[in-house]
Each structure stands twice: as structure tokens, then as C-alpha cells.
Amino acid sequence: MPKKTIHDLGELRGKRVLVRVDFNVPMDESGNVTNERRIVAALPTLKHLLDVGAALVVMSHLGQPEGDPTAADFLQKNSRLSMKRVAERFRERLGRPVHLAPGVVGPAVQQVVQRLQPGEVLLLENLRFHPGEKSKNAEFAQELASYADAYVNDAFGTCHRSDASMVAVPNAARGKPRVVGLLVAKELEILNTLLTNPPRPMLGILGGAKVSDKVGFIRSLLSRVDRVLIGGAMSYLFLKAQGKGIGSSFCETKAKEGQKTPLEMAQEILELGKGKIILPIDHLVVKDLKDSSTATVVEGEIPDGFAGVDIGLKTIALYQDEINKAATVVWNGPMGKFEDEPYSKGTRAVAEALANAKATTVVGGGETAEAVEEFGLAEKMTHVSTGGGAFLEYVEGTPFKALAEIDDK
């Protein structure tokens, strides 16, 4: 059922709203924010709530802090993951004062929360600085839920997780309005259209390194699309499954516990997608990954001593033609080592083809979203998802506990 959104909250003037956002932004070694896309994506929801007179308590996790959060030296060791720098960038983009809380829960934080006035914003410290976030502690969740009169989930990127702020907190807030923000609402609208009634023909584009990480997504996609284009390192696994030579290209071999080998998965997927799957017909290959001067293009099989790093020019032309014929395109995973400029041509060409296409174009978060942003093409896509893993799992059909806690319309 459709979920209630912030537009279903009713009168908010003078009330406090607890908003779970995804400010898990990339940072450099010094702790500076290097990409603010997730902060910017949350602004429409936050600005709307402020404009109608609410006070906001905003919470997010950041990174993967190391060690035991209860240890005396934990904060010192993980100081780079404090929300301080995020608060500064958030303040700049919001154009309003943003107060940084002295922690996540506790008397000092409660005092700051109680003093919040309509139109003010309090950003809690990194949720993972408290053990209750990962342990899903009920008392921790209850205290967070007590901070506000309503709960808003606007963190699509973590909707597939069961951390306290995503599941236990809205559960503890039963009896209060629990809704999704504009970002999550848009993600669900786009994805539900893809899964139910997409304009056809529908084209899937898959890349990245490992098939095992996306096997459920690939199976789900194959049941819905008319064609699938495959690139990236995973294409070498599929070519090997066809008995073709891949030289010294990366090829996933290790099976996860309880799973089939990647090669067996690839063989099954090729059979399942017979008539739909299109693999590269030529490749950009190198003798030495660190020396782009050794790069050359080969057709067919990759010779010994060479490793594939990108799709070739003929494959680019083939893939562009398929994109031009599609009415809906879903893309997840780069076509090669796009982070290295000499090997980025295939990923860039696919991004440009989507940007110029008349089709509905959906980019599935993660590295793919980073790529289209790096190329300056994000604004030309119909939708760029803010969730990598969440995007994959939603298309796969995995139920999200976090969304189950949100009120239905």
C-alpha cells in the first residue's frame, strides 16, 4: 500500500519532527565532505517541514566507526566521523542555522531538544557513536522517539537496513504520525513504476565487478526487461561461462557460504536470459593496469597476458543503439574502471547515451550515480537513486522492515 508522506502530517506549527536522513557522505582523510549529493537530496523535505513551522531533530549515521562505542578512546579514534563537518555543509546548503547536538541521547541532548523553537534544526551526533544503533536497543530507540511529535523516514539509502533509527525508533513512535519524506516517496514511486508498468521496450544495463552481489537483482531484472546489456568486470565471468578466453581479466571465483560458485551462477543466468543478454564484442585491454600506454582494443576473446578494463568502441556503438531504441532504461554498474580516466570511455558513453535518450532513464545509485555525477550528467537522467544496496534489494523484491513501520495511507 502507498505510504503516508509529510503532506499527510497535518498541522505542524510548534511541533518537533524527528527526521532520519542519509547523510552518510564520502569524506577525505581530513574529514572534509567530498560529495554533498545526499545532503542536497534531503533538503526539499527539511525545508518543507521548516516552512510549515516545525522544529527539526535530524539524525544520520556516518561511515563505519571502529571499535567499541563504550570504550574511553572511541570518540578520539573516530573523531573524523563526527557530524561536525557534515553540519557545516548542511548549514550552508540549508541556509539556516543548524545546531550540532553534544551526542545522540542523554540528558545534555534532551535539554537541547526541549529548547528547540519552531524553524530551528538540531543535528544529532553520528548515530553509530552509540551502541544502541547497531544493537537495536529498545531503550535507545524509545529515547530517540521521545524527542518529537512525528517521525519521518527520508533515508532511502538505508531503508534496507534494520538499525534502530530505521526500525526500532518508528516502532517506539507508534501512536504518533510515521511517514516518509519526499525523497523516499519519489524513490518508491519510480521503482514501483519500474516493477509494475514500465514503458516498453525496457532495457537493463548491468556492470560492476561481482555477479554474486547482484544475483537476485539480475534474476528480477531479467524477468522484467526485453534486453540486458552487460559490461564491467562481471562481463568477463559471463564470457568465461561461454567458454571464451578472458586473459588475465578479473573474474570472480570465490563462492559465498551456501551459494553456488560465481561461474555456476553466470551459466544459470545466461540460460535464464537466453535471447535477452548482450555481452561485449570488443574490449579495451592492458598488459599493465598502472600503465595505460599498454592499452589496446581486441575483438572476441582476450589474449593471455592482457586484462580487460573497459568495453571497446564497437560495443559502445552497439550499446548506444540499444539505448536509443528503448523506452525505459535501468542502469546499475559501470562498464569499466571509470575511476581511471583512460578507462572511463565506455561508462561515459553509456551515460551520455542515457542523457540524450528520449526514454525514462533510471540510474541505480552507488558507483553508477557517482559516475553520472562525475560526468556532469546527473540532471539529465529521469532519476538517480540515492540508494545503492537499497535500490538493488527493492528491485529484487526484498521486504523492507523500515517501510513496514511507516503508516499506510
The C-alpha cell at 344 is 572511463
For residues 229 and 165, membership in a common domain is answered with no
Range of the domain at 302: 200-358
Coil, helix or strand at residue 389: helix
For residues 99 and 221, membership in a common domain is answered with no
| Domain at 139, CATH number | 3.40.50.1260
* 345-356 and 366-374 helices, crossing angle to 10°: 80
Q: Are 385 and 391 within 8 A, CB to CB?
A: yes
Find the angle CA(234)-CA(239)-CA(240) to the nearest 5 degrees.
95
Q: What is the pLDDT along the chain (409 residues), one digit of tens a residue?
A: 589 999 999 999 999 999 999 999 999 888 889 989 899 999 999 999 999 999 999 999 999 999 999 999 999 999 999 999 999 999 999 999 999 999 999 999 999 999 999 999 999 999 999 999 999 999 999 999 999 999 999 999 999 999 999 999 999 999 999 999 999 999 999 999 988 989 999 999 999 999 998 999 999 999 999 999 999 999 999 999 999 999 999 999 988 888 899 999 999 999 999 999 999 999 999 999 899 999 999 999 999 999 999 999 999 999 999 999 999 999 999 999 999 999 999 999 999 999 999 999 999 978 999 999 999 999 999 999 998 899 999 999 999 999 999 999 9
Buried b (16+ CB within 10 A) or exposed e, 286-316: beeeeeeeebeeeeeebeeebbbbbbbeebb
Cα-only R_g, the chain: 23
What number of helices (H) and strands (E) belong to the chain?
A: 16, 15
Q: Please give the tally of structural domains in the chain.
A: 2
For residues 280 and 135, membership in a common domain is answered with no
The pLDDT value recorded for residue 72 is 93
For residues 36 and 102, membership in a common domain is answered with yes
- Whole-angstrom distance, CA of residue 216 vs CA of residue 220: 6
Q: Are 331 and 361 within 8 A, CB to CB?
A: yes
The pLDDT value recorded for residue 1 is 54
For residues 147 and 245, membership in a common domain is answered with no
* 313-325 and 345-356 helices, crossing angle to 10°: 20
Residue 368 is assigned to a structural domain of this protein: no
For residues 131 and 245, membership in a common domain is answered with no
For residues 308 and 238, membership in a common domain is answered with yes
Nearest to 22, CA basis, from 172, 138, 128: 128
Q: Which residues pair with 229 in a beta bridge?
A: 205, 278
Residue 50 is assigned to a structural domain of this protein: yes
Run of H or E residues at 328: strand 328-332
Strands 282-286 and 307-311 turn out to be: antiparallel
Distance of CA 101 to the CA centre of its chain: 27
SS (H, E, C) 212-247: CCCHHHHHHHHCCCCEEEECCCHHHHHHHHCCCCEC
The C-alpha cell at 187 is 524513490
Q: Which of 141, 161, 185 is the last residue of a domain?
A: 185
For residues 68 and 172, membership in a common domain is answered with yes
The pLDDT value recorded for residue 259 is 85
- As annotated, the active-site residues are 38, 210, 366, 389
Q: Which of 151, 185, 219 is the last residue of a domain?
A: 185
Residue 375 is assigned to a structural domain of this protein: no
Residue 92 is assigned to a structural domain of this protein: yes
Q: Which of 130, 154, 185 is the last residue of a domain?
A: 185
Nearest to 83, CA basis, from 40, 123, 44, 134: 123
Peptide bond into 102 cis (omega under 30): no
The C-alpha cell at 407 is 503508516
Residue 268 is assigned to a structural domain of this protein: yes
Residue 248 is assigned to a structural domain of this protein: yes
Residue 395 is assigned to a structural domain of this protein: no
For residues 161 and 261, membership in a common domain is answered with no
The pLDDT value recorded for residue 10 is 93
Residue 392 is assigned to a structural domain of this protein: no
For residues 107 and 78, membership in a common domain is answered with yes
For residues 14 and 118, membership in a common domain is answered with yes
For residues 58 and 109, membership in a common domain is answered with yes
